[in-house]
Chains A and B, each alone.
Chain A
Amino acid sequence: MRGFGAFLAYRLFRALIALWLVSTVVFVVMRLSGDPVPLLLPPDAPIAEMERVRHDLGLDRPLPVQYAVFLGNVLRGDFGRSIHFRQPAMEVALSYLPATLELGVVAFLIAVLIAVPIGVFSAIRRNSPLDHAAMGLALIGQSTPTFFLGILFILVLALRFDLFPTSGRGDWRYLVLPAMTLGAFAMASIARITRSAMLEVLRADFIRTARAKGLGEFVVVAKHTLKNAALPILTITGLQFGTLLGGAVVTETVFSWPGMGRLAIQSIYNRDYPVVQSTVFIAAVLFIVINLTLDILYGVLDPRTRETRP
């Protein structure tokens, strides 16, 4: 087995490859989209003007050269200027990032803080009515499309009972419905995996030993079981945080939350490709950072995972 440093280096290498692949897909898609010049100029612009812009953007150069220039720009985080906002696209996208992070982190915290206790409880009181109710709800939560859940929340909690605002960003009340919507899927998955991970460990011999020693049920559950069930729970939790950020696109659109996901969709409607690319790229970087952090956490928690190829 190689050292932890080698493990991290390998992971970092793979992360960079993933990033390179994503940028290449962005480049290919951009090339497929055809000539962006007519989008930048008024429809009656003279041919000479179009040629000039084409030259300025480097679009008259051979494709491999364009690709190299593009990769260089990506390394500097430069995706050109936004057509709609008339500012550097990356700056625009970054200015929408805090709202998305706020929503994502709150949704994630709600999900974990509710799901893990429910999962643990379901496991200890296996087959009790509460266990069945919780797991039934989790199943429904896992198969309800995010956007429809948002619509249901708006209909019932915002319009019928007027408990929360339907859309926008402001004080904490604006955050409740989007965060619940965004967190629901993660909550359901984490609750189910926590339950099954706990059940797996509860079956182990050392739990029987712990009970036989006369340890209290709380110690058995909290210290012996939960600690050993932590790794699968952490895996799913980490994966869910990634999926959750993807779901932000939908949730932000439903609740008009002024974040990066909604910006991406609106930029698509505006045909503002530099901004779309910037948002896709920021999301990719975020993702990779999260996964890398998770890998490091793994290595710290469980030395057995420190092999280079999992």
Chain B
Amino acid sequence: MSRPAVAAGPLGTERGLPAGRAARRRRFPWQITAAAGFVGALVVIAAAAPYLAPHNPERGSLGARLEGPTLRGADGAAHLLGTDHLGRDVLSRVIYGTRVSLTVGVAAVAIGGLVGGTLGLVVGFRGGWVDEVVMTVADAQLAFPFILLAIGIIAVLGPSFTNLVIVVGLSGWVTYARVLRSDVLALRRREFVDAIIALGGSVPRIIVRHILPNVASTFMVIATLELARAIVLEATLSFLGLGIQPPTPSWGGMIQEGREYLDSAWWISIFPGAVLMLTSLVVSRTGDWLRDVLDPTLRGQ
């Protein structure tokens, strides 16, 4: 984002004219400022959870069970978002849940990006049978609802933080691989690559020094969109009991725990759900916006 010249890239040379860039800067909408603020707040909340959470998220007071949002509960303390069936403070659990969501989301995006990105770069540059194999595997994975596979794998390996991160991470590699591959395919045919080869540049050097900077913006766009997807997938798996295990608070797990009490204590499920929904909306909108600004060629994907 800091280098729009790269963003304009070889795929959209005409679009990268200074006039276009100036126009784009003028269109920096307030929504994006708000979104950046929201994401920044989430990061701060996740990092400073122990200082921000008013109560211990895993220990409840049985005297103050199923209390609605209150400033003075049965245990004498304020529970701004109420308490759950074990008397635990919902606000504190949502705050700690932010930690889980962001950690799993970011780690998963890192894994997916590393695997998918590397494969996309290499396969796009090399072509041949490696390309055929990787793309066939990618098609096979796309041709199948990954959530089922994720459920099957976690069911067998057992739900743990590591397994969750790996499964959510690997669920996303295809997008990186496919998009980067097609970008690299287009880049590889350009004259500057031939020129570098003629000058004696090695292939790894070309990939790292010349191809990588050109696909960096595309990568950023996918990573942002993937982050939203990873956070939702983590919550979904935790909701199904296959992700983060109780008593560790996670948004998906909290929604699951509150399900039985929807009639009497809606706040247990609804508050974490609302935060999850908002996070997903904000992050994916940011991704959409980044895509429109950085890489118009991706539009519609």
Contact = CB atoms under 8 A, between A and B. Distances in A.
Interface stretch (B34-42, B105-113, B177-185, B258-266): B258-266
A249 B148 contact: yes
Nearest to B262: A155
A288 interface: yes
A257 B266 CA distance: 22
A17 B136 contact: yes
B198 interface: no
Interface in B159-175: none
Interface stretch (B88-96, B149-157, B204-212): B149-157
A97 interface: no
A18 B280 contact: no
Interface string A270-310: 00010011011001100110010000000000000000000
A154 B149 CA distance: 28
Given A17-B136, A21-B140, A148 B277 contact: yes
A268 interface: yes
A27 B224 CA distance: 34
Interface stretch (A87-95, A119-127, A136-144): A136-144
Interface string B124-160: 0000000000001101100111111101110111000
Interface in B169-222: none
Interface stretch (B4-12, B18-26, B66-74, B235-243): B235-243
A147 B239 contact: yes
A18 B276 CA distance: 34
A196 B276 CA distance: 28
A180 to B, nearest CB: 16
A287 B144 contact: yes
B294 interface: no
A9 to B, nearest CB: 16
A245 B145 CA distance: 7
B156 A152 contact: no
Nearest to B239: A147
B143 A18 contact: yes
B273 A287 contact: no
B47 to A, nearest CB: 24
Contacts of A245: 145
Contact of B147 (A151, A159, A246): A246
B270 interface: yes
B250 interface: no
A147 B146 CA distance: 16
A226 interface: no
Given A250-B147, A291-B143, A143 B262 contact: no
Contacts of B148: 246, 249, 264, 279-280, 283
A154 B136 contact: no
Given A144-B277, A148-B277, A22 B144 contact: yes
Contact of B155 (A243, A250, A268, A288): A268
A15 to B, nearest CB: 8
Interface stretch (A29-37, A53-61, A204-212, A215-223): A29-37
A100 to B, nearest CB: 12
Contacts of B151: 249, 264-265, 268
A109 interface: no
B284 interface: yes
Residue in B144, B151, B269 whose Cβ sees the most chain A Cβ within 10 Å: B144
B288 to A, nearest CB: 9
B104 interface: no
B266 A155 contact: yes
